[in-house]
Chain A
C-alpha cells in the first residue's frame, strides 16, 4: 500500500535559517504529492502540491520538487520566519484518499 515517511521532529531553527524537511514515499502508480501545514488548534491548510514527476510546487517561499527517481518530495524554504512555526505534513493521494506522513513540528525562534 501507499506510505509516506517524513523527517521526524521537532525541528527548531533561528529566524532566517534555511529549512529542509525530508519526505519520501512508496506508492503504486503516479500519485499526486502535497504538503499541508497545521497551525496550533486549527485544521490543515494546503501549502503546495505537485501532480507529476519533476513538477515543482511553491507557495509563500516554500518549494518542493516531485522526484520520481528518488521517490521524494522534500520541503525547502530559504529564510524562515517566526510565523512559519507549525506542523508540516507530507501527503500523497491514491484512489482519491490522502495518506499522510507523521508530521514535523517546526519552531522558529527570533
Chain B
C-alpha cells in the first residue's frame, strides 16, 4: 500500500529554535500533501494544504510565517516551525494523496512529536 514517511519522529529543542519536519511519499507521487496538528487526546486539526510547485493554502488562524511549508517535489513536503516556543509543542502529522478528488484517501505519516523546552 501507499507509504508515507515522516522524519524525525521526535524532536526536543530549546525555545527559539527552528525545526524542520520532512514528509515523503515513498512509493507514489503525492499531488497534494496536508499538515495536521494534534493536541493530546484530541482530533487532528488541518493546518495547511500544499500542492507541488505552488504556495501552501493555510487554514484560518494558522500563522504562515510561523509554519513554513515547502512542497518542492511530488514526493517531498517540509514543515518548518520557526522560532518555536513551548506553545508550539504538539504532535504534527502529514498526509499525502496521490490523486485529486474526494474519493481518494489520504495516507498518513507516523507523526512527529515536537517538544519545546
CB within 8 Å of B: which residues of A?
Answer: 31-32, 34, 36, 41-46, 49, 51, 89, 93-98, 100-103, 105
Contacts and interface: CB of A to CB of B under 8 A. Distances in A.
B105 A102 contact: no
A31 B105 contact: no
A34 B108 CA distance: 13
A97 B32 CA distance: 10
A51 B102 CA distance: 9
A107 to B, nearest CB: 13
B90 to A, nearest CB: 14
Interface centre among A43, A44, A94 (most CB of B within 10 A): A43
A89 B43 contact: yes
A102 B102 contact: no
B46 interface: yes
A98 B106 contact: yes
Contacts of A89: 43-44
